[in-house]
Amino acid sequence: MESLYSALIPDATVKVQAQIATVLSAFPESIVRRVAIFGGIVRALKPRERYYEVSPALQRLGIDVDGWPAPPAGLFVVEERTVYLRSRSPMTIAHEFGHAIDCALGRGVYLSGVNPGIRKAFRDARCFVTPYAATGLDEYFAESIRAFVEVNDASSHWPKATKARLQSADPAMYEIVESLLSCAT
Ligand SMILES: [Zn+2]
């Protein structure tokens, strides 16, 4: 287990690695392993470090997320298979790891973008587990995963993302997430 997390969270102090690993322990171990085998990485920015400084893809593409009025708390860069974390809040870690799972299951592209079942569930959804889940297929996937593992921030004003809430708001997506997370090996 320790080697799994050192592969997944390579450039971190023991404290930061433990903090991230604690959140990831909410996920089934098989899916965490699947992301690690896929080459997924979780990298926490150091204080005052900017996304631009650590991500070759953002540099190449000239995407200045650090200059946005509100830089994102976390970011997943598909081509680097890397989660970047500016915040290490449990909600941010779990949400971004949801994108890493999406990408690992899609073998380098987001499964949510190409899977007909997920696309249909999104299209037909009348109600979303969190408001953010309604903003796009990738966020729909990441938020549904986060709800399934029930990781929330105590300080968040958002409704708590839980398994029960996902099941009642969006039963079709609940079933999809349940089967994806149980067949991860
Ligand atoms: Zn996201």
- What residue spans define the domains of the chain? 2-182
Q: What's the CA-to-centroid distance between 92 and ligand 1, angstroms?
A: 9
Instruction: Compute, in angstroms, the gap from residue 142 CA to the centroid of ligand 1.
Output: 6
Task: Determine the pLDDT at residue 130.
Answer: 94
Looking at CATH, the fold of the domain delimited by 2-182 is given as: Collagenase (Catalytic Domain) (3.40.390)
The pLDDT tens digits of the residues spanning 36-79 come to 999 999 999 998 899 999 999 999 999 899 999 989 999 999 99
Band of the pLDDT at 159, cuts 50, 70, 90?
confident
Question: Quick one: three-class SS letters along 146-164?
Answer: HHHHCCCCCCCCCCCCCHH
pLDDT tens track for 69-127: 989 999 999 999 999 999 999 999 999 999 999 999 999 999 999 999 999 999 999 99
pTM of the model: 0.95
Q: Provide long-range contacts, Cβ within 8 A and 24+ apart, for 73-80.
A: 75/51, 76/100, 76/103, 78/103, 78/108, 78/109, 78/110, 80/41, 80/55, 80/56
- State the distance from the centre of ligand 1 to the C-alpha of 7, rounded, in angstroms: 23
Q: How confident is the model at residue 184 (pLDDT cuts 50, 70, 90)?
A: low
Q: How many angstroms separate the CA atoms of 117 and 93, rounded?
A: 26
Residue 185 has pLDDT above 60, yes or no: no
Q: How far is the CA of 46 from the centre of ligand 1 (A)?
A: 21
Kindly state the percentage of the chain with pLDDT values over 90. Answer: 89
Closest of 24, 86, 79, 100 to residue 51, by C-alpha: 86
Distance from residue 169's CA to the centre of ligand 1 (Å): 19
Alpha-carbon gap, residue 70 to 93, rounded angstroms: 18
Please tell me the predicted confidence (pLDDT) of residue 155.
Answer: 85
